[in-house]
Structure 1
Amino acid sequence: MSDIPIADHALLSDRHSAALVTKNGSVDWLCFPRFDSESVFASILDDDAGHWSIRPTAPSTSTRSYVDGSMVLQTTFHSKDGTLELLDALELGDSTDPHRLGENAPHSLLRGVRCISGRVTFEMVCRPRPEYGLVVPVLVEIDSGVVATGGSGRLTLSLAAPATILDGEIRVTFTLEAGQQQHFALQRTHLGEPLPGTYLQDEIAASLAGTIASWQEWSAIHQTYDGPWRELVHHSGRVLQALSYQPTGAIIAAATTSLPEEVGGERNWDYRYSWVRDASFTMKALWVAACPDEAHEFFSFMTAAAAHSNPDRHLQIMFGVGGEHDLSERLLPQLKGWRGSGPVRVGNGAWDQPQLDVYGELLDAAFRLREQLGDIDPATRTFLIALADAAASQWQQPDNGIWEVRGAARHFLYSKLMCWVALDRAIAMAEQLHATDRVAEWSTKAEQIRATILEEGWNDEAGAFTQSFDSSDLDASALMIPIVGFLPASDPRVLATADAIIERLTDARGLVYRYQTDTGVDGLEGNEGTFLLCTFWLARVLAAGGRGDEAREVFERAISHISDVGLLAEEIDSDTGEQLGNFPQAFSHVGLVNAAWAIDQAERGQPADDGTAAENAQ
């Protein structure tokens, strides 16, 4: 089993698929040709599930960073013999349009090695294990490379020297003098497709340079945020872009599956799909961090993926990156899991849960991106109107809530709140949606929801807005009440809720739990770490409520756990401070972006959030 800390991995992306690389130069996770495809390397989940390592043969230490303005990783190895630099990237491919980053990605992982000083010997070991480690491929040498055949595809490894092939493993050793280089490429093709030619050394070098240039051009065009924590915000914007699927506009929740929320626990899920909620939050964060011009693509994807003819059926909460509906969950017993934290799952059993909050999240994102959407096409207008109508008709139903509990459905406060948001934003966008005739009915329903939340969502015993009606349990999602503009952050009930969460829902590190798992609400055994998104929510609420110094302290506590290459998982282990959960997690980077912006806006004396959309639209 893998014992390498989750935060010791770095992300590569071509906006089709993702890889994770360790500090010692090992690709321990790679899925081709989509984010949710079967893995080629999965040693992050089991030592026997494949990896591709490049490292000096002599003992060494390493430092690393992303090349400025890019998602190309630079790892520098320091040994007694000299210094070696390793560049890693998933190739973006050629495109004449910098706004369509990764449009022609050829599904190729590129690796370039250069000796900076001295004389360094390094070893390359490639051990492909397709289909989550089930397949040991047949390896055959060809001119300038090796072909691996097994499972549903073939892999072509380009290298400039004969290799040793033994036990399903490719090994080759090089010695470089200062200034000398070696390059490698791994391409994936489906069975039945012609094998690609191997890359020449100069071609790999040129493709690495081109991928760096493409990322930097995109960053220069899109990233204009100039507030506090500017570099972190810009980097998070690139991470969020890296978690988007270029062909359809889908946005995944994270690049991995089954990295646990508790070491040894069962809370291990597959996050390589496009959640309506996560993707909507991401689009809003990109509005701050990267000025997205993909708004039309995202809403076109959601319109197509969510299409159905039954007006009483709830909106599905997640889809495959190609718009697939059935994401049935299954176990992979051949994988032990990170640090033995099984089971390892693919698919996600929450795909058919009713979660009413998604209506509000989509319409909130549409409202935030209304200028980018401009003249909304008829299909998307119809879709957005249907979301508001669904919120109006379904808001009184129990559901599984934002945290996708696997226990009994409840009347979760957050779900009701986001139904109100759906109607509020639809009212504000009524002219743009060509739906002014719906405003009176939507307004009546919005007022009913508002009155119910104020009456049943507040709990005198808890002294706060709580997780669900008729419950005294706290839930960090109540922090969204001021963020979405339902009540101002200065409202005494909002401040009391924030203080209750600080007092009873934070750990010794000052980070925020989603809720207390010992209440049994989620139907699962064990516990989880503190949730970074919720911690950033607290910072936003404190900033908007005039408690700027506290907001900065909360923000700084959260980002103190960021990795050496600026990445965040979903949670933080309260005992060790280690990152937990799938990685990198869009939610966490969304939280960072929005909290930084909220603190900046509060310090400028400007409202950071949409507030009540209907009022803001006037």
Structure 2
Amino acid sequence: MQQPAISEYGYLSDCRSGALVSRAGSIDWWCPNRFDSPSVFGRLLDPDGGHWLLAPVAVGQPGHQVQRAYQPDTLILRTVHHTPEGSVAVTDALAAEVGARAHDFGMRSPAVLLRVVEGLSGRVPMVLDYRPRPEYGLLTPYLRELPDGAVTAAAGPVELALRCDGLRLRAEHDRVRHTFTVEQGQVLGFDLAYAPAYGDPPARLDPVRTLADTTLAWQAFRESHGYDGHYPEMVRHSATVLTGLTYARSGAVAAAATTSLPERIGGDRNYDYRFCWLRDFAMTLRALWVAACPTEASRLFDWAARSIGRVGPDPVPVLFGLEGERDVSEHVCPHLVGYAGTGPVRVGNDAWLQRQLDVPGEVISAVWRLRHYLGDQLPAELRAMVIGLAEQVAVTWRLPDRGIWEPRDRERHYLSSKVLCWVAMDRAVRLAPQLGGQADVRRWAGIRDEIRAMVLRDGFDERLGAFTTAFGSSTLDASALYLPVVGFLPATDPRMWATIEAVERDLGGADGLIRRWDGDPAGFVLCSFWLVECLVLAGERERAARLFERVSGHANDVGLFSEQIDLTTGAHLGNMPQALSHIGQVNAAWRLTEPTAE
């Protein structure tokens, strides 16, 4: 089987876990317990990793065409297959708890995949090919046929139950293969339920009825939010994707739903993104507020405060597990060949061990953004956290670190890290009236001004005529575009404007895509949306709008972004869907709506 392009996948979510389904109708990724749990379908990363195909026999043959779209304001994907024999629709979803509405959605998801087949015309021969492989493909389960026509799969800590009320399924050693015909007007519902091996059995749901209820749950959720700005359909969809990356039980937003999808085919930068990065925190909060999701923003904030805990002398980790776990140590799965043969496949992410000095700035900036919501005086624990983070920056800001792109070579004095140290001090000073008597305003303000002077002196290269990657460096880095976004310098400042022009000229590619640095293999979607914001802040509103539309045009056919886009082929690269890409789109749309909004 030829590996589908990353852009050919649609995304399903129940706010507990995520699944990827290809245009051809194969679910090639599902980690049912939660986003970062072991997969039961992993063909995304290895041909033998497990899958569930449900599609016409004619898939990929002459005369076969596919149209697909999400049901409005949901992550329920309807795929229509047109074949020489007729047309059939397959609607895929991860089930919501029966009766869940608005902010109850995802809290108690039953971990059930729903697939409903509907005959639209003619008589269409169909094939079901179900081959589960729990524990990232390490386990081959025992399949057992039940009297009601269902098939259970049991291996290690996992039990799965596949059912269809209208068909009796037969096990063939390690898989279920079944062919059947769907006629016009016929509806067949399939459900695949997960349960831990030594707990309650897998849930039994009516697929058609549960699909209808799940649709109502998604739509009620979105109806409880509003957005009054430019590009409302794009913003609502990106907000829906961010909801679908949210682990509802804690409020944490996963950076992506996958691990080890490569930044470059044949490269080795293949990392696990199924965790929540504090670096993304302020940007995520801003996007949630823009999309009028204050409850989600508040829950994410509460998760971060709980995860950070009491601030001590040690650096705050840049990322946490979805329930606040600190130790997310990385290991390699040597039995998996990787997407398109690009290994290694990693589980966990050792970036949690890195010193990354920008993290406190992101967190304190988020508190500043919520300042009006939090009241005249911050709660005691929150005050302690902000003061502790500010003091940590005061002590550590002169140290080198790993920077925003998390290289695994050596520490340097990265420009973006120093700027976020300035943000930490600046926002802490502004928050002083809400922090009480322990706020060391005069000292913090002095450090803030010292950081600013150093950045302006050592971060700008006169020969290059731009801000650079790190102090003493002579190379461009797209992270410099973040300076106007956080208010360090106006976009109209001659040094900043020269940097914006240099990044666009020297790191830009087709249709406005921006690479992070010279030699980066592809355009980084977030950086492209940062450029949109910079152009708005510089007064280039029409130019910014054109760029926004070009970059947004790189989303796949159902509006999803991965992390990067190949400048030559337009192929999606990196983990999918990528929260930062959708966050960038929401924030850029709002900047175009109200350039001075904060």
Q: Shorter-chain TM-score category? A: over 0.9
Contact kept? 2:112, 2:203, Cα under 8 Å:
no
- Partner residue, 2:150: 145
Q: Which amino acid aligns with 1:165?
A: A
Compare 35-44 and 169-178 and name the one that shifted more.
169-178
| 1:31-180 paired onto structure 2 within 5 Å | 31-58=31-58, 59=61, 60-94=64-98, 98-142=102-146, 143-160=148-165, 161-180=167-186
1:459–1:466 CA contact under 8 A, matched in 2: yes
Alpha-carbon shift at residue 120 of structure 1 (Å): 2.1
1:346 paired residue number:
347
Separation (CA, whole Å) in 1 of partners of 2:593 and 2:304? 32
8 Å CA contact 2:95, 2:112 repeated in 1:
yes
Task: Write the deviation string for residues 234-267 of structure 1: whole angstroms up to 9, x where unpaired.
Answer: 1001111111111111111111011010111111
Are residues 1:599 and 2:596 paired? no
> Which of 393, 396, 418 does residue 394 from structure 1 map onto?
396
Alpha-carbon shift at residue 376 of structure 1 (Å): 4.4
Unaligned runs of 5+ in 1: 518-526, 611-618
Structure 2 counterpart of 1:338, which letter? Y
- Compared CA separation, residues 564 and 435, structure 1 to 2 (3 A): farther
Conserved? CA contact 2:157–2:198, under 8 Å:
no
Which position in structure 2 is the counterpart of 1:333? 334
The alignment's TM-score, normalised by the length of structure 1, stands at 0.92
Contact 1:78 1:84 in 2 (8 A): yes
Write the distance in 2 (CA, Å) between the matches of 1:2 and 1:337.
Answer: 14
Deviation of 1:282 after TM superposition, in Å, equals 1.6
Instruction: State the alpha-carbon separation in 1 of the partners of residues 254 and 346 from structure 2.
Output: 16
Alignment of 1:550 onto 2:543: yes
Secondary structure (helix, strand or coil) at the match of 1:431 reads: helix
Equivalence for 1:323: 324
Q: 1:376, 1:241 → 2: CA distance?
A: 27
Query: Aligned partners of 2:67, 2:45: CA distance in 1, in Å?
Result: 24
Matched position secondary structure for 1:425: helix
Q: Of 566, 573, 579, which residue of structure 1 is paired with 2:572?
A: 579
Q: Which residue of 1 aligns with 2:360?
A: 359
Aligned to 1:338, the other structure's residue is in SS state: coil
Q: Which residue of 2 aligns with 1:570?
A: 563
After TM superposition, give the deviation of residue 279 of structure 1 in Å: 3.7
Counterpart CA distance in 1 for 2:467 and 2:202 is 59
Deviation of 1:436 (Å): 6.8
Distance in 2 of aligned mates of 1:544 and 1:197: 52
Inter-partner Cα distance in structure 2 for 1:385 and 1:112:
53
* CA positional deviation for 1:153: 1.3
1:574 partner SS:
coil
Q: Deviations over 1:458-497 (max 9, x none)?
A: 1101101111111111111111111111111211111111
> Secondary structure of 1:549's match?
helix
Q: What does 1:75-474 correspond to in 2, within 5 Å?
A: 75-94=79-98, 98-142=102-146, 143-160=148-165, 161-196=167-202, 198-199=204-205, 203-222=206-225, 224-308=226-310, 311-374=312-375, 376-434=378-436, 437-474=439-476
Percent of aligned positions that are identical: 44
Asked whether the 8 Å contact 2:193–2:203 carries over to 1, the reply is no
Equivalent of 1:485 in 487, 504, 507? 487
- Residue ranges of structure 2 left out of the alignment (5+ in a row): none
Match of 1:559 among 529, 552, 558: 552
2: CA distance between counterparts of 1:292 and 1:121? 47
Measured after TM superposition, the shift of residue 300 of structure 1 is: 2.4
> Conserved in 1, the CA contact under 8 Å of 2:478 and 2:527?
yes
Q: 1:338 to 1:153 in 2, by over 3 A?
A: same
Amino acid aligned to 1:172: H
Q: Structure 1 CA distance, aligned partners of 2:322 and 2:96? A: 18
Match of 1:613 in 2: none
Q: Quick one: distance in 2 between partners of 1:53 and 1:379?
A: 50
TM-score by structure 2 length? 0.95
The farther-off stretch of 54-63 and 24-33 is: 54-63
Query: Which residues of 2 match residues 2-21 of structure 1 at below 5 A?
Result: 3-21=3-21
C-alpha contact 1:162 1:172 (8 A) present in aligned 2: no
- Give 1:163 shift: 1.6
Paired with 1:228 and 1:259, the residues of 2 have a C-alpha distance of: 32
SS in structure 2 opposite 1:10?
strand
Structure 1 residue matching 2:90: 3-state secondary structure: strand
Q: Which string of whole-angstrom CA distances, capped at 9 and with x for unpartnered residues, describes residues 512-550 of structure 1? A: 111124xxxxxxxxx521111111101110111011232
CA distances 1:108-143 after superposition (whole Å, capped 9, x unpaired): 111111112222221221110111111110000112
Indicate how the Cα distance of structure 1 residues 88 and 508 shifts in structure 2: closer, same or farther if over 3 A, else same. closer
Counterpart code for 2:208: A
CA distance in structure 2 between the aligned counterparts of 1:167 and 1:48, rounded to whole angstroms = 15
2:536 is equivalent to residue 536 of structure 1:
no
2: CA distance between counterparts of 1:358 and 1:152?
A: 36
Letter in 2 for 1:179: G
Give, in whole Å, the separation in 2 of the partners of 1:302 and 1:561. 32
Residues 364 and 437 of structure 1, relative CA distance in 2, 3 Å threshold:
closer
Alpha-carbon distance, 1:558 to partner: 1.2
What is the DSSP-based 3-state SS (H/G/I as helix, E as strand, rest coil) of the residue aligned with 1:11?
A: strand
Secondary structure at 2:108's aligned position in 1? coil
Write the letter of the residue equivalent to 2:198.
G
Query: Secondary structure of 2:279's partner?
Result: helix
TM-superposed deviation, 1:328: 1.4
Larger deviation, residues 38-47 vs 281-290: 281-290
Verify the 8 A CA contact 1:489 1:544 in the aligned structure 2.
yes
Structure 1 residue matching 2:582: 3-state secondary structure: helix
1:328 & 1:170 partners in 2: Cα distance? 36
Report the CA distance shift for 1:90/1:97 in structure 2 as closer, same or farther (over 3 A).
Answer: closer
> Are the counterparts in 1 of residues 32 and 40 from structure 2 also a CA contact under 8 Å?
yes
1:300–1:380 contact (8 Å) kept in structure 2: no
Structure 1 residue 145 displacement after superposition = 1.0
Gap change, CA 1:296 and 1:597, over 3 Å in 2: closer
